[in-house]
Chain A
Amino acid sequence: GAVVSQHPSWVICKSGTSVKIECRSLDFQATTMFWYRQFPKQSLMLMATSNEGSKATYEQGVEKDKFLINHASLTLSTLTVTSAHPEDSSFYICSARDQGGSVYEQYFGPGTRLTVT
């Protein structure tokens, strides 16, 4: 089956620093990837859509200068949380859509837990 990986699985950083999270599609190509954020005991909220070779599109209320997204290849998207603050502590989950499949074939990564101290 299609596999999406994320790295790191968890990260602790100091307030004011930046942290990068990688999302990879391991056995398929993904022109489109999605980034979600999940606070404790809450649902997943779509943050942005990452498009290979073009700019990401952000959901309303998500700061694009704070959450930098780069989708440089068909198998890799990165999310960089810049100038992180404790309120950015959350579980970040990426999802990738199989380019060769139907629009319904979308797979989720295992998530990255970010803690900002």
Chain B
Amino acid sequence: SQQGEEDPQALSIQEGENATMNCSYKTSINNLQWYRQNSGRGLVHLILIRSNEREKHSGRLRVTLDTSKKSSSLLITASRAADTASYFCATRRRDDKIIFGKGTRLHILP
């Protein structure tokens, strides 16, 4: 079963623009993670945000978490062609197993 729902499902933006992806989840969490997956490749862990954190930064990435709304957002600033990938949010079930959202396919246009 999937815990998260990302929107949009697909997003195309011009290089240099900012990209925002949202994730909603259903149950209470201890933390939420974001992963990137280039086409046909494995996962790259981007960032983990704990339930007591509201915002976290890592380079050009900014993640927010609103536990009252059960939602998170991932912002990529000054996008580059290399950012073209699928992005997934992931949470843990009560049994601590990682469950992924449906993902957002991001395409950066040159």
Q: Which of B77-110 contact A (CB under 8 A)?
A: 88, 96-103, 105
Binding site for A on B (CB under 8 A): 1-2, 31, 35, 40-43, 45, 48, 88, 96-103, 105
Q: Which of A45-78 contact B (CB under 8 A)?
A: 45-46, 49, 59-60
Tell me the smallest distance from the CB of A107 to a CB of chain B, in Å. Answer: 8
Binding site for B on A (CB under 8 A): 34, 36, 41-46, 49, 59-60, 91, 93, 95, 103-104, 106, 108-111, 113
Decide: B42 and A109 in contact? CB cutoff 8 A: yes
Q: Please, how many angstroms separate the alpha-carbon atoms of A41 and B10 in the complex?
A: 10
Q: Please, how many angstroms separate the alpha-carbon atoms of A41 and B105 in the complex?
A: 8
Some 5 contacts from A to B, beta carbons below 8 A apart, are A34-B98, A41-B105, A43-B103, A44-B100, A46-B97
Q: A104-B31, A104-B48 are in contact. Are A43 and B100 (CB under 8 A)?
A: yes
Q: Please, how many angstroms separate the alpha-carbon atoms of A108 and B37 in the complex?
A: 11
Tell me the smallest distance from the CB of B36 to a CB of chain A, in Å. Answer: 11
Q: Please, how many angstroms separate the alpha-carbon atoms of A42 and B103 in the complex?
A: 8
Chain A residues closer than 8 Å to B103, beta-carbon distance: 42-43
Chain B residues closer than 8 Å to A93, beta-carbon distance: 42-43
Chain A residues closer than 8 Å to B98, beta-carbon distance: 34, 46, 95, 106
Chain B residues closer than 8 Å to A46, beta-carbon distance: 97-99
Q: Please, how many angstroms separate the alpha-carbon atoms of A113 and B100 in the complex?
A: 19
Chain B residues closer than 8 Å to A108, beta-carbon distance: 35, 42-43, 45
Q: Please, how many angstroms separate the alpha-carbon atoms of A110 and B70 in the complex?
A: 30
Q: Which residue, A44, A109, A113, has most C-beta atoms of chain B within 10 A?
A: A44
Q: Please, how many angstroms separate the alpha-carbon atoms of A42 and B96 in the complex?
A: 22
Decide: A43 and B42 in contact? CB cutoff 8 A: no
Chain B residues closer than 8 Å to A113, beta-carbon distance: 40
Q: Please, how many angstroms separate the alpha-carbon atoms of A106 and B33 in the complex?
A: 11
Chain B residues closer than 8 Å to A110, beta-carbon distance: 41-42
Which one of A43, A59, A91, A106 contacts B101 once the chains associate, using CB atoms below 8 Å? A43
